[in-house]
Amino acid sequence: MRLCVAGAYGAFGLKHLDAIANIEGVTVTSVMGPTKSKIEALANERGIGHAGTTLEECISRDDVDAVILSTPTQMHADQAIACMDAGKHVLIEIPMADSLEDSERVVAKQKETGLTCMAGQVRRFNPSHQWIKNKIDAGELKVQQMDVQTYFFRRSNTNAKGEPRSWTDHLLWHHACHTVDLFQYQTGGKVEQAFGLQGPAHPELGIAMDMSIGMKAKDGAICTLSLSFNNDGPLGTFFRYICDNGTYIARYDDLYDGYDKKVDLSGVAVSDNGIELIDREFISAVREDRKPNGCVTDVIQAMETLDQIERSFL
């Protein structure tokens, strides 16, 4: 299987390249990035045969079967549709789009083409959250409350590597998307109630720098999500699962109980890297001609909830 990674020299493009290197039978034949010198240097460093500065150039190639989009959020919908129009399967880094309308366009194109189109909802794949999901499915745990904190110190337009960014990130459509999808995934369906509060907009970036979201699932479980770009301290997202049979804290791919004792996650998955597990699922779904976990037709429920939350701001 031959892949193109678009946005390859960005923070998450590099994570995908590293992950793919651990998967047998897969070759990255093309990489895309807007700066010619940078993308060619990356291709030379990684031994990749083709480097392009436009997605159109890459998806027109016969040696590309599928594409991983690690490009700016605002480009995701149009680029995913272009990939499918070119007959390429596509994995879209979270989020699939930054509006419900654009998300619906992506879903419509997937249904029209029948190609694999997967949203990169990495929290479904982190071993920490997989362990919780397995316990829920086995009837050993029931989530009563999720308390989630998503914190960054990002008062300027920089990416995860601390480099200047050409586009503006968003607490709701990107960072809250992780938790909204995960909460619905762990509780088994679309939430029945959702609302949000947001703080003042940044004078230059034009986005809210602080946000609070509340949700209630059909089974009665609740979720409280706090997000900030103003937090001067440890960055990242931390999930506290308060369950009927224990409390668990997920920190990316690691899991701890309520007393901060680490939970053994060996055997949960073939890797302890959530990005690699997403890529493995995408590649397997294409090879097996099946619906992936994280298909856009399922993730659209999270986008509908995000739209509901955004409308509650008004």
SS (H, E, C) 160-182: CCCCECCCCCCHHHHHHHHHHHH
Contact partners, residue 35, CB within 8 Å, separation at least 6: 9, 53
Tens of pLDDT, residue by residue over 150-208, are 999 877 666 666 666 666 678 999 999 999 999 999 999 999 999 999 999 988 888 89
| Confidence (pLDDT) at 157 | 67
- The DSSP line for 219-258 is TS-EEEEEEESB--S--EEEEEEEETTEEEEEETTEEEET
- Single-letter amino acid, residue 3: L
- Binning pLDDT at 50, 70 and 90, where does residue 314 land? confident
Mean pLDDT over 239-265 rounds to 97
Listed range (25-29, 67-71, 254-258, 310-314) with the worst mean pLDDT: 310-314
Q: pLDDT tens digit string along 213-232?
A: 999 999 999 999 999 999 99
Average pLDDT, the chain: 95
Q: Where are the domains of the chain?
A: 2-122+275-295, 123-269+301-312
Strands across the sheet containing 89-93: 50-52, 27-32, 2-6, 66-69, 89-93, 117-120
Query: 130: Cβ–Cβ under 8 A, 6 or more apart, which residues?
Result: 124, 268, 269
> Domain 2-122+275-295: which topology?
Rossmann fold (3.40.50)
Closest CA to 234 of 296, 151, 172: 151
Helix axes 11-20, 274-288, angle to 10 degrees: 60
Q: Tell me the mean pLDDT in the region 20-33.
A: 97
pLDDT of residue 288: 98
Superfamily of domain 123-269+301-312: Dihydrodipicolinate Reductase; domain 2 (3.30.360.10)
Q: Which pTM does this prediction carry?
A: 0.94
How far apart CA 154 and CA 314 sit, in angstroms, is: 25
Two structure tokens written together for 119: 């949203």
Q: How far is CA 29 from CA 6, 42, 52, 67, 262, in A?
A: 11, 13, 11, 10, 40
- Contact 137/130 with Cβ under 8 angstroms? no
Distance CA 128, CA 265 (A): 7
Q: Looking at the chain, how many residues does it have?
A: 314
Query: If we measure between CA atoms, which residue out of 206, 101, 208 comes closest to residue 150?
Result: 208
Instruction: Give the phi and the psi of residue 180 in degrees, each rounded to 5.
Output: -60, -45
Note the pLDDT tens digit of each residue in 92-115. Answer: 999 999 999 999 999 999 999 999
End-to-end Cα spacing for the chain = 46
Q: Can you tell me the mean pLDDT for 75-87?
A: 98
Q: What's the CA gap between 178 and 101, in Å, rounded?
A: 19
> What are 122-132's pLDDT values in tens digits?
999 999 999 99
Q: Given this model, what pLDDT does residue 167 score?
A: 61
Neighbours of 238 (CB within 10 A): 14
Q: What's phi and psi for 47, nearest 5 deg?
A: 70, 35
| Both structure tokens of 170 | 């968003």
